[in-house]
């Protein structure tokens, strides 16, 4: 059993991954955030610095490298949880390409590398996750939770347009383009798994039911 937790920035992927990891008594592979040297530069750089140093492209390469390592390790074992995975990387790269922060040539190079990595995954014992737990929510909830967790480099008001661009197309990407596994959609406007124990139990039940149905 491999579960991917996906969704918009700020909606609680790490908390969800922790909840599932505890329940299923398994390892959690976390997204490279606190140890990521490029992420603060990506959020705080001026347009001139982005143009010169190509931080969005470098950030996507960093995430691609770390996610590939995580998903390879996860797919070699019976039970693991992934706090986001390599499958969502393309969406973030595409949005930055649409915004002109990643050039068309950089995006082509990125796509070739991603496709090569996904082909390599065909050789591991388990070829794909069993389930994606996809967290969705209103844009107001996204902004509120980003502010609440208080990472200083995520709080600049100028980032609101970037977050909105990501948010606007995320549901469509999951429903239209994500094909690696079954998807369980969790509306984070309705659930608070950190502060409400009953909500956490409900989510666990939904995940178990989805996995059981898949294995019927």
Whether pTM exceeds 0.85: yes
Distance from first CA to last CA of the chain, Å, rounded? Answer: 14
Q: Give me the residue label for tokens 């590939």.
A: 68
Residue 7 has pLDDT above 50, yes or no: yes
pLDDT confidence band for 77 (50 / 70 / 90): confident
Instruction: Look at residue 126 in the predicted model and tell me its pLDDT.
Output: 67
Residue 102 C-beta-side C-alpha neighbours within 13 Å:
23
Residues 6+ apart with CB under 8 A from 63: 31, 32, 89, 92
Instruction: Look at residue 124 in the predicted model and tell me its pLDDT.
Output: 67
Strand-pairing partners, residue 80, are 2, 27
pLDDT above 90 as % of the chain = 60
Instruction: Look at residue 118 in the predicted model and tell me its pLDDT.
Output: 85
pLDDT above 70 as % of the chain = 92
Question: Would you say 102 and 96 are in contact if contact means Cβ atoms under 8 Å apart?
Answer: yes
Domains of the chain by range and CATH? 2-214 (3.40.50.300)
Q: Are strands 131-136 and 2-7 parallel, antiparallel or unpaired?
A: parallel
Instruction: Look at residue 123 in the predicted model and tell me its pLDDT.
Output: 63
Instruction: Look at residue 216 in the predicted model and tell me its pLDDT.
Output: 47
- For the chain, the C-alpha Rg in angstroms (whole number) is 17
Selected catalytic residue, list 35, 83, 98, 192: 83
* Average pLDDT estimate for 168-180: 93
83 catalytically annotated: yes
Residue 215 has pLDDT above 70, yes or no: no
pLDDT digits (tens, 9 = 90+) for 16-60: 999 999 999 998 988 877 788 899 899 888 889 988 999 999 999
Write down the mean pLDDT value for the chain: 89
Residue 131 has pLDDT above 90, yes or no: yes
Higher pLDDT, 104 or 212: 104
Instruction: Look at residue 40 in the predicted model and tell me its pLDDT.
Output: 87
pLDDT confidence band for 100 (50 / 70 / 90): very high
């Amino acid at each position: 059993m491999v579960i991917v937790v996906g969704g918009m920035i700020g909606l609680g992927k790490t908390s969800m991954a922790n909840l599932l990891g505890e329940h299923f008594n398994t390892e959690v592979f976390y997204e490279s955030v606190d140890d990521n040297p490029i992420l603060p530069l990506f959020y705080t750089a001026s347009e001139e610095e982005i143009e010169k140093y190509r931080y969005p492209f470098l950030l996507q390469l960093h995430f691609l490298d770390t996610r590939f390592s995580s998903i390879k390790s996860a797919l070699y074992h019976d039970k693991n949880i992934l706090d986001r995975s390599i499958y969502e990387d393309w969406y973030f790269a595409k949005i930055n390409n649409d915004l002109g922060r990643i050039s068309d040539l950089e995006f082509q190079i990125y796509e070739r590398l991603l496709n090569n990595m996904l082909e390599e995954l065909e050789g591991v014992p388990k070829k794909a996750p069993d389930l994606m737990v996809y967290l969705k929510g209103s844009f107001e909830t996204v902004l509120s939770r980003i502010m609440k967790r208080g990472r200083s480099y995520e709080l600049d008001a100028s980032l609101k347009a970037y977050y909105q661009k990501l948010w606007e197309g995320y549901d469509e990407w999951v429903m239209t383009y994500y094909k690696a596994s079954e998807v369980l959609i969790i509306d984070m406007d309705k659930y608070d798994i950190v502060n409400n124990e009953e909500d956490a139990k409900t989510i666990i039940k939904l995940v178990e039911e989805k996995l059981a149905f898949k294995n019927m």
